[in-house]
Amino acid sequence: MQFSIPIYQRKDGPTLHWVTLGLGEHTRHARGRNTMKIQQGLVRDLVKVIEGVKARELEQFELHRGLSLERVHMELSLKGGGRRRKIAGTFPLVLEPRWINGEERRFVVYHPHRQGSWFPLERREELSSQAATFFQRDWVELDDEEIAELKTEGRDRLRIIAFSARPASILDELPDRKQSVWDDLEVDLFSRKGKKKNKKRGYKVLPKIAVNLSPQAADGALSVGLAREPYRKQLQLLLGGGKLASTLVVGPPGVGKTTLLNRWLVDRLEADGYPAHRNLDRVHDVWSLSGRRLIAGMSYFGDWEERCIGILQDVMTRRCVLWVEDLVTWSRLGRTRDSDRCLADFFRGPLARGEVVMVGECTPEALQRLEDEAPGFAEQFTRLNVHETEPGETLSMMLHAGRELEQRYRVAFGPYAYRTVLELGGSLFPGQAFPGKALDLQRQIARDYGTRAEEEEEQRATIGAAEVVALLSKRTGLPSVLLEPSRSLQAEEVRETFERRVMGQGQAVEVAVELVTRIKAGLVDPGRPYGVYLFTGPTGTGKTELSRSIAAYLYGDPSRLLRFDMSEFSHAGAPGRLIGDRHHPEGLLTSQVAERPFCVVLLDEIEKAHPSVLNLLLQLFDEGRLTDASGRRADFTHAVVIMTSNLGARIQTPVGFGEVRVEEVMHDVAKAVQAFFPPELFNRMDRIVPFGPLTAKVAVRIVRKELSLLLARRGLTDRNITAYATESVIERLVAEAFDPRDGARSVKRYIEDHLGTLLTQHITSHRRAAMESLRLYVGGGEFQVHVDALKEVDPQVEALELESVMQLPTHDLEAMIPEALEQIEVLQGSAEVTQVSERLRHHLRQHNLGHDAHANPVWILDVMRQRLSAFAQRLKEAIEAREAEPGLLEELRLFAREPKLRGPGQRRRAVLDARLMRGGMERMVRPELLEILADVYFLKRALVKVHEEGQHEVFVELLRVGQARAGGVDWFGTPRRGLLEWLAEAYAERDGGLESLALSARYGEPPQGVHPSDLQEALSAPVHHLVMRKVGLCALERFRGEVGCHVRRAMSVRPELIRVRVWPAPPGVSPLDVIREHQEGVVAFQEALEARAPLPPNPERLLPLVRQVVWDPPADGGRATPVDLEDYALGYSETTQVSRLGDLLPTLWQLQMSAVGRSEEGAT
């Protein structure tokens, strides 16, 4: 029996609330986020209720035609409890028709959540007044929260759910008759109880292993896209009538096979009349089934066959179709060592007899594999071949999808976005077809930028060509400089990048540069890999390192290198391991490349592979693709294939650096390679790249590189240890560690054995401080460690008066401005200001008499006086603007009006006219208000400190502890800025002038002067030591809190330790002089340390730790990221989000100015 039940649906955020209407005591409620799950649960509950009630009670489950929902605005006056309450709002009311006779009907009105309270509606025009009269009596006992729950925000509606149930019959209420002697002769083939033999059998097996897609299609949860009419009509002919034919949709990945079947499923519901009766029990059920789920857990012989019999019984009971996800694998699934029977063998007969209908999808390659392995099964399907869309049709689909995505996400697609998706998407993903690859990319970019706009509460994100390129770069790993035609790429910059990582191999580096520039120019063969190379030469010369560098440069990550040791593929079954076989169809090589097609495939020691593997490579080098045993294609057209070989590279008895004759070695290698590889394979290689033996000159660079890798390991960084080595260590490693026979490997082995062991002993056998700096040096003929412990500074303040103010809202901060003005006016009339004026007159007279030494005091005292006056004027203007704002708003409300349509009639609404806004009405933002309050504290201090010598001209020194730059450089040679650069930038921007500066790029390098206007350019290159001369009012007082060590930690880079010193700048001393003096002191200290002589003062000594920052800067340079800050001197910590470190420091500087009980022993 068919039932249709009305439902009231209300949406609270993402949660849906359903309640049945008109069922009286059988009313049911349901809540959830998924419509189909709510409906299925409610239907199960209602079916149980209907099957349990008596036949005469079924009348209340009859649908009343004409049921409607009205949203009525009511103003209620509730009297009760000795008080009167005024309630106003919009409430949902259900109008249920009831027939008095054949011609006249009345409406019963009730609230959907209080259906027991109702009233008859006399006239529909009087609904609002009648409802208000009734409910202000009925709701007297409800509190305000309960009444608020009854209101509506307009996100509610009525819907109907339809289903089938088998209610009890009136005959079931008759008493059981006496049993006859003939009753046991009644036979039922399908049930042991005769009274159930006509009962329709339900699904038994399918709900356990499959998903019914029909409810999802009915709810609109399936993506149907823009219909492709020719294919849609063909599917309707095959699967839309009364007799359904098993169908296989065939086409390349991304062509839209799944979307076509989704569209057919929706059309199938319409053909079954679902829009009219809304009953899922009367339509074809489409079950999504996977062969792997079908045989899961079937461990004994005959288990999966028994489950398949249950599936056949299910499909013969109801009208249903099996949508098989992995149909092409059914020719193998089920086979074991004891039986060759598979799923295809079992279902071949039922398909041929029409007992079961299946649909599926596959690629042409997979279909060919299915026809080869199970031809009888494959021929039971009608094939529908789907072809790739033309550019015009693809663009139409993208425009249709773009409109939907713009409604769903906070994005707007620009015209160039579609063009970029079509052009770059078409060339970068040849393994997929249009329209899928374009639509998938469009959905992903809308999802990413739309989510970001919602998180940051921004307006709609406009998506143009740049945003598409950024997403493609992230998805493929290819740098944006290679994807954007407008951006240039200099071959010299690429060469420098590779030379920093692969040393002493100029010819190999040129090959890498040529590869990158050819990809940038778009001149690579689209039907082959980007490049096929054979790297030859002795071991340890950089073949693997160059492969890793190419992977990092082209694809953004060294992990994009897929390395295969070909000595593991030296047997006859090696091709099966690489591309799969009957028992393991997913090969090692094809599966990894299919998962990550943008990669470098490294076939290490190719000469050890079986000859059949070399034959397999012919197809790869020619066509740029391989197909595994399951018919899945792996695309290599965006990969670089590199083979390495040691053929002919054996070096005979080298002694020292000069004994190896590079020309002879390279000649032997070339002969051996040409003799080993067959001509057809040799001729398909793009280049044979020789790697020569390393020389002593290259050994120095290798030593520095391997040593930096050792000192950056987690064993040190996790223990807060910073380590660096002196030049004596480098020289000894070059002399003792390098061996031409092993190349860089000998250096790495020696460093591990000696320095690695030394550091291990220090870590495990000494009690360490919380943080340490280790200096490795050679003393007494042995490697030694000098330890400099880093301790946290003791808190230097008792209280921070501004700390509580930081949490106040902006309105309260504005209210503090008058008090700040009063304090400044008190200062202006104080004895300190009078003294400043008197001393200013004195120094001015002396300066006019020709005494130049008085020029600086005149300037400083005049700055102090002007600063007070300007600050007082700024506060007065802020107060005037704040006081004038209410009057201005009232004026605007009186005179700036315009008519606006609102509701059924025309009303007038006040609108602020921007033309009447006065300039003084501009409100101060929160950072500006905090800066004003902090300046009050600073000016108080400045009046006390202004007369002190050395206060107004200081040296600010930033020294990187250790030799390595924490940020380093990226794969394009661009330095990643670190803590030193961020601090230097912030200090330069702080109050006062930057008079001069100097820096040393690397440890021990001569310093160079830099013009202050060139600071940004200077910070884009490596910086080890920087000194700036700052001039400003009480500059020493401003920078006093920065003195000490600053530590920055991050997940992406090693910890960075920066020492900051601030001291008065003597006349005639420049920042260049400071750095030179520092370097001379470092040399003297190291010489004494290595000679074991009495140690002079250490110019690199660590100062107490004053601040620690844990922060990873945003990758895109714009979005704010979380930062944890702890200032030990202030006793202050904070967790917030910033996009640049300079946004965080002003807060600390403001707190420093308000510190109470501050220590005066900071600057040194």
- Out of 66-70, 508-512, 608-612, 698-702, pick the least confident: 698-702
Tokens, residue 154 = 């307009």
The phi-psi region of residue 273 (left if phi > 0; otherwise alpha if psi is between -120 and 50; otherwise beta) is left
The β-bridge partners of 76 are 87
DSSP assignment of 168-209 equals PPGGGGSPPPPPPTTGGG---SS-SSGGGTTSPP--SSHHHH
Q: Considering only residues 206 and 901, tell me which one the structure prediction assigns the higher pLDDT.
A: 206
**For residue 662, what pLDDT is reported?**
58
91: amino acid identity, one letter:
F
**For residue 652, what pLDDT is reported?**
47
Whether pLDDT at 187 is above 50: no
Q: 597-610 pLDDT, tens per residue?
A: 999 999 999 999 99
Q: 510-521 pLDDT, tens per residue?
A: 999 999 999 998
How many Å apart are CA 862 and CA 847, to the nearest integer?
14
- Out of 234-248, 306-320, 403-417, 884-898, pick the least confident: 884-898
Q: 51-61 pLDDT, tens per residue?
A: 888 877 787 78
Question: How far is residue 426 CA from its own chain's centroid?
Answer: 24
The β-bridge partners of 1125 are 1109, 1134
446: amino acid identity, one letter:
A
How many Å apart are CA 64 and CA 61, to the nearest integer?
9
Query: Are the beta carbons of 468 and 421 closer than 8 angstroms?
Result: yes
1160 pLDDT band, cuts 50/70/90, is: very low
Domains of the chain, CATH where assigned: 2-170 (no CATH), 206-385 (3.40.50.300), 391-476 (1.10.8.60), 491-693 (3.40.50.300), 697-790 (1.10.8.60), 802-899+921-930 (no CATH), 950-1156 (3.30.70.1660)
**For residue 854, what pLDDT is reported?**
55
Whether pLDDT at 1103 is above 90: yes
Residues of the chain with pLDDT > 90, as a percent, come to: 37
**For residue 59, what pLDDT is reported?**
78
Cα angle 156, 161, 164 (rounded to 5 degrees) comes to 170
Q: Considering only residues 488 and 606, tell me which one the structure prediction assigns the higher pLDDT.
A: 606
Q: Considering only residues 338 and 549, tell me which one the structure prediction assigns the higher pLDDT.
A: 549
Query: Are the beta carbons of 920 and 881 closer than 8 angstroms?
Result: yes
851 pLDDT band, cuts 50/70/90, is: low
How many Å apart are CA 496 and CA 973, to the nearest integer?
8
Strand order in the sheet with 29-32: 29-32, 15-20, 2-12, 156-164
List of residues 6+ apart from 667 with CB closer than 8 A: none
Query: Are the beta carbons of 5 and 164 closer than 8 angstroms?
Result: no
Q: 13-40 pLDDT, tens per residue?
A: 889 999 999 888 889 999 998 888 898 8
Whether pLDDT at 412 is above 60: yes
911 pLDDT band, cuts 50/70/90, is: very low
Q: For residue 7, give Cα distances in angstroms to 1, 21, 113.
A: 19, 6, 11
Please give the mean pLDDT across all residues of the chain.
84
Tokens, residue 881 = 């603007």
**For residue 826, what pLDDT is reported?**
82
**Based on the number of CB atoms within 10 Å of its own CB, is 257 exposed (0-12), middle (13-18) or buried (19 or more)?**
buried
Q: For residue 580, give Cα distances in angstroms to 486, 532, 631, 989, 1038.
A: 43, 23, 10, 62, 69
**For residue 1062, what pLDDT is reported?**
96
1106 pLDDT band, cuts 50/70/90, is: very high
Cα angle 34, 39, 44 (rounded to 5 degrees) comes to 130
Whether pLDDT at 308 is above 60: yes
Whether pLDDT at 42 is above 80: yes
Q: For residue 974, give Cα distances in angstroms to 499, 853, 1024, 1056.
A: 14, 46, 16, 18
- Length of the chain in terms of residues written: 1164
Query: Are the beta carbons of 979 and 1048 closer than 8 angstroms?
Result: yes
